[in-house]
């Protein structure tokens, strides 16, 4: 099965258009997050960009809401096809989001950069608890106090085992670049891969890297 590609951290329509032309399946928008990030945009910008995402390409609203009301407001105002919850909301609140909106829900689960395989059972149990609520999970790398968005790679052996045992589609993130995405797909066999900093140069979106990332992901599936 072909591995899908999500290009995240888009800030301009040029970013979106290049990702789409090069074959991205989804484009992500990091919106109103309460952390320092060069990739975050405000709700109005996200709404404008999401409206311009073409048919057959998913728009992913990436948020870290402080509570259910905040999440509901952001989703209602931007109308994405998918929402990625990047922090912890109670499962009952995630279920409310899933039932209220015609939107696919992606839940981020972090794997510490230095984690051992002992963490696998815990993560699989967490995925089991999300079955029937979330539509997919995204594995990102955490380092210290940073819960994802670190640009760091975790042990792909852990991710590969999770993919084999997960009841939900698994999206692999964390330090993926054009240089390593081929090996990542070959080892982990995720449903999709996700990158943001991996397709930047000097902190800015590098459209050549976007093209190369998508191309090499496709080559890995042949």
Looking up residue 192, the CATH number of its domain turns out to be: 3.20.20.70
- In tens, the pLDDT along 10-21 reads 999 999 999 999
pLDDT of residue 157: 97
Catalytic residue at 217?
no
| Domain count across the chain | 1
pLDDT tens digits for range 94-143:
999 999 999 999 999 999 988 898 999 999 999 999 999 999 999 999 87
Instruction: Give the chain as a 3 state SS string.
Output: CCCEEEECCCCCHHHHHHHHHCCCCEEEEEECCCCCCCCCECHHHHHHHHHCCCCCCEEEEEECCCCHHHHHHHHHHHCCCEEEECCCCCHHHHHHHHHHCCCEEEEEEEEECCCCCCHHHHHHHHHHHHECCECEEEEEEEECCEECCCCCCCCHHHHHHHHHHCCCCEEECCCCCCCCHHHHHHHHCCCEEEECHHHEECCEECHHHHHHHHHHHHHHCC
Range of the domain at 58: 4-220
140 assigned to active site: yes
pLDDT of residue 144: 61
Per residue in 136-146, pLDDT (tens digit) is 999 999 876 55
Active-site position among 140, 155, 194, 217: 140
């Amino acid at each position: 099965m072909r591995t899908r590609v999500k290009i995240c951290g888009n800030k301009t329509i040029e970013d979106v258009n290049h990702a789409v032309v090069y074959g991205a399946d989804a484009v992500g928008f990091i919106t109103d997050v309460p952390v320092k990030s060069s990739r975050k945009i405000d709700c109005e910008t996200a709404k404008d960009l999401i409206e311009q995402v073409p048919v057959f390409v998913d728009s992913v609203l990436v948020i870290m809401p402080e509570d259910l009301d905040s999440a509901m407001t952001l989703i209602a105002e931007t109308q994405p096809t998918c929402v990625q919850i990047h922090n912890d909301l109670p499962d009952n609140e995630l279920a409310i989001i899933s039932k209220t909106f015609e939107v696919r829900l992606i839940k981020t689960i972090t794997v510490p950069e230095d984690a051992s395989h002992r963490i696998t059972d815990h993560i699989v149990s967490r995925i089991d608890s999300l079955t029937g609520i979330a539509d997919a999970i995204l594995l990102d790398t955490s380092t210290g106090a940073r819960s994802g968005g670190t640009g760091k790679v975790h042990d792909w052996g852990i991710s590969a085992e999770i993919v084999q045992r997960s009841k939900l589609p698994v999206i692999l993130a964390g330090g993926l670049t054009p240089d390593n995405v081929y090996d990542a797909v070959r080892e982990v066999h995720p449903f999709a891969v996700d990158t943001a900093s991996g397709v930047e140069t000097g902190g800015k979106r590098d459209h050549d890297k976007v093209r190369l990332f998508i191309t090499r992901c496709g080559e890995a599936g042949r």
